[in-house]
Structure 1
Amino acid sequence: MKKNLTPLIALFSLLSFAQENYNSENHNVSFDDIKSSTFAKDSTANALVIYDFGNSYVDQDDFKLKTEVKRKVKILNREGFDKANITIYLYNNSKGAETAKNIIATTYNLNDNNIVTTKLDRKDIFEEKYDENHTLIKFTLPNIKEGSVISYSYTLSSPFMFNYKGWSFQEDIPKLYSEYRASIPGNYEYNIKLIGGRKLKTNTTAVEKECLRAFNGGVAHCGKYIYAMQNIPAFIEEDHMTSKSNYLARVEYELKIFRGFDGIVDNYTKTWETVDDELRKDANIGKQLVKSVDTEALLSNDILSEVDTLRKAESVYNYVQENYTWNDEYRIFHEVSVKDLIKNKSGNISSINILLHNLLQDAGIDVKPILLSTRNNGFATKIFPVISEFNYLIVQATINDKTYLLDATDKYLSFGDIPFKCLNGYGRILDFKKESNWIDIEPEKASTIQYKVELNLDTKENMSGNVYAKNTGYHALNSRKAYYPNRDVYINKIQDKYPNIEISNHKVLSEGKTSPEFIETYDIEYEDNVSGNNIYLNPFIMKFFNENPFKLQERTYPIDFGYKDTYYYTFKLNFDDAYTILEKPKDLALNLPDGKGQIIFSNTLANNSISLIFRIKFNEVVFEPEYYPYLKEFFNKIVDIQTNSLILIKKK
């Protein structure tokens, strides 16, 4: 048996190897590219980029930026057919437009071990107006089947040297090889950003002399750059992350200085000192921040006469929060007018928070504006100013040596809280008298969810009791937003979430829709699981997590919760002498590495009651990717405890 099995194993190994023999060295489609049918490194992949190549340079004839693109993709199954739909984005403005030329696309299939090619017809290439500044070129590769290989290439031509072509090494499907070459004339100086933190296989720089000649005889040398990556995993989005643009492996260019052949030098990237001066003079920011506001016409006498600084600040904040409505626009550098806001009662992010800033400033409170980029917008660059990366403005108030971050655009926020979308690591605080600087943006306190459940088991096997729930921080904010618009809908959602209980006498004990806490109580009737004389009771009537949010085999980007978290659950069951506890859950204590998190689960049986305590604590906001397997197992244990913890009760 062993003698027969050995050659079979060897044969299977050879066949498996033969199934994956992709040519990732160039754009040419090989027989093995088409014949290979799997990708063992990622069995979930629907398609695979075998080869990806880009080459950007300034054309000697027309001085335009040319980018040659070549790409070869394997379609592994039907779910990967969408990768045959190609869209090229072209930018245009009043000074010029990008174009795409020399589009060549071919589909390769196998038919009885013969290669069949189907070329894209030029009539199937379409141009579509996207918006004022963008045109789309679209085409779909023909004759797509499972196992097809598609190959296409084109050349981009751009008159916009300020927008040097960047390159993405990573996307939502895996890549075997991706290479980008850039030739940059010496009279153009760029800030070059390598984003994503993945290791480059190739990273070389050389100089090509006299690569560009101007009509007036001027000559420029070119920096020649080659970047390449191989075996690049697909980027799969998962819960608890900021914008994927923070982590996708790519190279980007920001024009810093242009030196003309005629001796003119233009500085495009400025210092923060220069930007501060420009913002101070800007009609939408600096000039609005010093707009005089008729506080006596806007604020009540009670607010104006308040002597306690903190109470006065809270009253001013509540006034702006209640009387002005955000119009859902993030345009912080355009059409900002405090005057129009006061007149229309509605405005964008900047106008509302600048009004808050000005009213607090008139009240003698030390305030400063903060520019930031929201979680979905990506991280703002710290190395040099890129004002366009900021899309939000909040206010910092310093009262009695304590700082508060304020945003009056959300009518459910408590004083000192900012929206979750603003928890993106850091912001730029503007100080036109001294200098701007970066500040960390992270909630000072942890957000908590606490449940206290008590049940009574009577002699007729009926269970009833009470739930006390208290949320703080962002959990409280979410509860307020769910409860106050429609109380009945809120209660019905609790009922739907926990079908084994019947809710009655629901009460909210916290005060108002901006209270920093959300406290509620309600009575419940619980439907137990009875089998003969035994009662099987899962004490987790309320659950924190129904499933593990982390499902990837590997995560290459950080886990960002936004804030520190604590979950606390206590349960008590009272019963009389008619019952006895036959079995109860086992105690457990589990810690994340370096003390970054903790699970405690314990229970106590005393007299005619059993009590359980379950606590989950996250001591960090951001976890680096190496903690992912630990967090994944951590959540597995949480779900397991909540699902499989049973109390076995026997009736005497």
Structure 2
Amino acid sequence: MTKFTTALILLLNLYCFAQENYYPYSFNVKPEDVKAEAFSKDSTANALIIYERGNSYVDNEDFELKTEIECKLKILNREGFDEATIVIPLYKNKDNSQKVFNIVASTHNIISGDKIEETTLSKKDIHNEEYNENYNLVKFTLPNIKEGSVITYSYKITSPFMFNYKGWNFQGDIPKLYSEYNTSVPANWQYHIKLIGGKKLMTNESKIAKHCLTTFNGGVADCTISKYAMKDIPAFIEEDYMTSKHNYLARIEYELKSFKNFTGAVNHYTKSWDDVDDELKKEKSVGRQILKSIDAKEFLPETIINETDILKKAKAIYFFVQENYTWDGKYSIYNDELSVKELIKNKSGNVSSINILLHNLLDASGIEVKPIIMSTRENGFATKEIPVISDFNYLTVQAIVDNNTYFLDATERYLTFGEIPFRCLNGYARLLDFKSGSSWIDINPIRTTYTMYNTELNFDDEKNLIGEVKRKSSGYHALYSKERYFPNKNSYVDELSNSLPNTEISDYNLISEDKTSDNFYETYNIQYKTEQIGDNIYLNPFFDKFTSENPFKLQERTYPVDFGYRTNYMYSFKINLGDKYTLLEKPQDTNLSLPSNSGQLIFTSELVDNSINLILKFNLKSPAYPPEFYPYLKEIFNKLVDIQQNSIFVLKSNS
């Protein structure tokens, strides 16, 4: 029987392997590609790329950059049908644009045995769309798509923009069996070449081809011929607590350093930060506005002008700008020349204009202040190796008061002094100093983010628990509560009540009424209906939960877990049993730590003077954790959810 079982398992494994006998190193479609029914390496995949290849080179006739693309893609199920719609973005500016040619696409289905039916895309089904001022889109959807179909498509892009050499994404939203990129780069163009995403290349080859590029007047150039390839590339799956996925996708990028024409003249495109600082200083919409003199008396009330305490004065100026000028939701470090004037006139402007006004008012009031340019979390990390100004999309302010450093942003109504929006918590930024030169700085919140619950309850005559809840939060936990509370107080209380099952809320009171307060401190009374079975009461004391489910569900995560800030959570709970009840059973205590003591979960409960005292503490001491911490974070969050959902105290009635 054992031998039979072993043989059966072997046959099943061989069968599954046969069902996945893909041909990943060829654009040609084989019967096995179409017959395959699954992808065992990722059972959640709805589609996968079997083979893709790119080839970029400079054309000898028109000196434009040409890129040829080939792709063979498998549709595994109906959820993968969207992958049969192909979108080709084409960059453009006022003078020129990329163009696409020779689009050829087909759908391949098995009709009997090994016979493949091929359905070709009609040219009338290729559509052009003006997407925005920087891009046009070419779209087409493959015909006759079924579960199991294999689609192939190829096309050629021609580009006049040699400053923007075609990059290559090895990784995408679906898995890939094989991805290859070939390049030919003439020696006239020098690029910074970056491999991003941390995945290893299976092929990384380069050689020199002599005289690959020639001109009509006899000029010649050698070329660097390169081949890059990866295999078995997993899909990139986004999950909570991450910055832009652009930071982590496995890909190759090119940044133009210099161009040397055939006369020997050299244009340098990569500059030093000294050069960039000088350009920004002279730029009419950045440096010239930042350095512009302003009379604070024309803007600020006398109470602020006459304030002698520097910190109080800085806070008053910040709150004045925050209250009187509205952010229009637009990001940019650049403005037109009259942007601050327009802000003053219209009381509304983009992030740069508001924070430049804040900068100038602080500076005019004798407070040490400098501008900061940064990239937001959704925009991705700014390149550190070389200055790339297009990486930056946001401008904030640094103020130094009594040797303490504060990051300031006046765009949001509920931010407190020294707090910047969550979108700005992206690790680092560039501090502009037009006298001493700019420098990289770390962006870390100065305040601890925490939430503390303190609850003391008693039993009433109906065997319900009654008492008061005190809830205090600070930092970003307080900010999120303020953003929900102040626009609609009644809605906030209703939402709170609806989130607490079997619980009635009364006498809600907000202690910290200031919408820019450091803290959010609220109290309310509750009546909780207990669950009674026979003579026993079964009680879960976690009416309000820090998190109701584990946000981490992947088997493996290859990019960091980025919370943005350090956090603390404490739940303190006391139930007075008096002489009416006896504790029969309580949950097990827990003490769980992350590696390097970078986080901790503690849950304890005890009976003291016939009162149940319970404490849950959870803290994350780092704003971000590397991928190798993922299993431990997943485990500690699993335990946190389990404690809150399944911690049951069993009480026996003494009457």
- Taking structure 1 as the reference length, the TM-score comes to 0.99
Once the two structures are TM-superposed, the CA of residue 131 in structure 1 deviates from its matched residue by: 2.3
Within a 5 Å distance, the mapping from 1:59-74 to structure 2 comes to 59-74=59-74
Within a 5 Å distance, the mapping from 1:243-322 to structure 2 comes to 243-322=244-323
Q: Which amino acid aligns with 2:75?
A: I
On the 8 A contact 2:104/2:121 being kept in 1, the answer is yes
Within a 5 Å distance, the mapping from 1:575-590 to structure 2 comes to 575-590=577-592
Partner of 2:449: 447
Partner of 2:101: 101
Once the two structures are TM-superposed, the CA of residue 268 in structure 1 deviates from its matched residue by: 1.3
Which of 620, 623, 626 is the aligned partner of 2:622? 620
Once the two structures are TM-superposed, the CA of residue 446 in structure 1 deviates from its matched residue by: 2.5
Partner of 2:242: 241
Partner of 2:36: 36
Partner of 1:89: 89
Once the two structures are TM-superposed, the CA of residue 37 in structure 1 deviates from its matched residue by: 0.9
Within a 5 Å distance, the mapping from 1:390-401 to structure 2 comes to 390-401=392-403
Which of 352, 368, 371 is the aligned partner of 2:370? 368
Q: Which amino acid aligns with 2:37?
A: S
Once the two structures are TM-superposed, the CA of residue 459 in structure 1 deviates from its matched residue by: 4.2
Structure 1: stretches of 5+ with no match in the other structure: none
On the 8 A contact 2:418/2:446 being kept in 1, the answer is no
On the 8 A contact 1:458/1:575 being kept in 2, the answer is no
Which of 454, 464, 467 is the aligned partner of 1:465? 467
SS of residue paired to 1:80: helix
SS of residue paired to 1:641: helix
SS of residue paired to 1:228: strand
Q: Which amino acid aligns with 1:385?
A: P
Partner of 1:165: 166
- The 1:403–1:6 alpha-carbon spacing in structure 2 relative to 1, beyond 3 Å, is closer
On the 8 A contact 1:213/1:220 being kept in 2, the answer is yes
On the 8 A contact 2:213/2:220 being kept in 1, the answer is yes
SS of residue paired to 1:338: helix
Once the two structures are TM-superposed, the CA of residue 89 in structure 1 deviates from its matched residue by: 1.1
Q: Which amino acid aligns with 1:321?
A: Q
The question of 1:80 aligning with 2:98 is answered: no
Q: Which amino acid aligns with 2:202?
A: K
- The 1:333–1:145 alpha-carbon spacing in structure 2 relative to 1, beyond 3 Å, is same
Within a 5 Å distance, the mapping from 1:206-245 to structure 2 comes to 206-245=207-246
Distance 1:524 1:45 in 2: 47
Partner of 2:437: 435
Partner of 2:509: 507
Q: Which amino acid aligns with 1:348?
A: N
Which of 346, 349, 358 is the aligned partner of 1:347? 349
Partner deviation per Cα, 1:57-103 (whole Å, 9 max, x = no partner): 00112211110100000100000001110111112233322111111
Partner deviation per Cα, 1:437-493 (whole Å, 9 max, x = no partner): 000001133200111111101343121111000001000011111111111000000
**Which segment is superposed worse, 360-369 or 130-139?**
130-139
On the 8 A contact 2:501/2:543 being kept in 1, the answer is no
Distance 1:534 1:396 in 2: 59
Once the two structures are TM-superposed, the CA of residue 6 in structure 1 deviates from its matched residue by: 3.7
On the 8 A contact 1:332/1:348 being kept in 2, the answer is no
SS of residue paired to 1:220: strand
On the 8 A contact 1:558/1:623 being kept in 2, the answer is yes
Q: Which amino acid aligns with 2:169?
A: S
On the 8 A contact 2:173/2:235 being kept in 1, the answer is yes
Moved over 4 A (4+): none
Partner deviation per Cα, 1:90-125 (whole Å, 9 max, x = no partner): 122333221111111111111122211111122221
Once the two structures are TM-superposed, the CA of residue 200 in structure 1 deviates from its matched residue by: 1.0
Partner deviation per Cα, 1:11-47 (whole Å, 9 max, x = no partner): 2121111011110112111111111111011000000
Once the two structures are TM-superposed, the CA of residue 3 in structure 1 deviates from its matched residue by: 4.4
Partner of 1:608: 610
On the 8 A contact 1:445/1:564 being kept in 2, the answer is no
**Which segment is superposed worse, 127-136 or 48-57?**
127-136
Distance 1:238 1:421 in 2: 17
On the 8 A contact 1:568/1:615 being kept in 2, the answer is yes
Distance 1:297 1:103 in 2: 62
Distance 1:339 1:106 in 2: 57
Partner of 2:206: 205
Partner of 1:186: 187
Distance 1:6 1:366 in 2: 76
SS of residue paired to 2:603: strand
On the 8 A contact 1:468/1:520 being kept in 2, the answer is yes
Once the two structures are TM-superposed, the CA of residue 511 in structure 1 deviates from its matched residue by: 3.8
Within a 5 Å distance, the mapping from 1:105-120 to structure 2 comes to 105-113=105-113, 114-120=115-121
Partner of 1:136: 137
SS of residue paired to 1:93: coil
- Number of residues of Structure 1 aligned to a counterpart in Structure 2: 652
RMSD: 1.1
Once the two structures are TM-superposed, the CA of residue 639 in structure 1 deviates from its matched residue by: 0.3
Q: Which amino acid aligns with 2:53?
A: F
SS of residue paired to 1:291: coil
Once the two structures are TM-superposed, the CA of residue 219 in structure 1 deviates from its matched residue by: 0.7
SS of residue paired to 1:107: strand
SS of residue paired to 2:638: helix
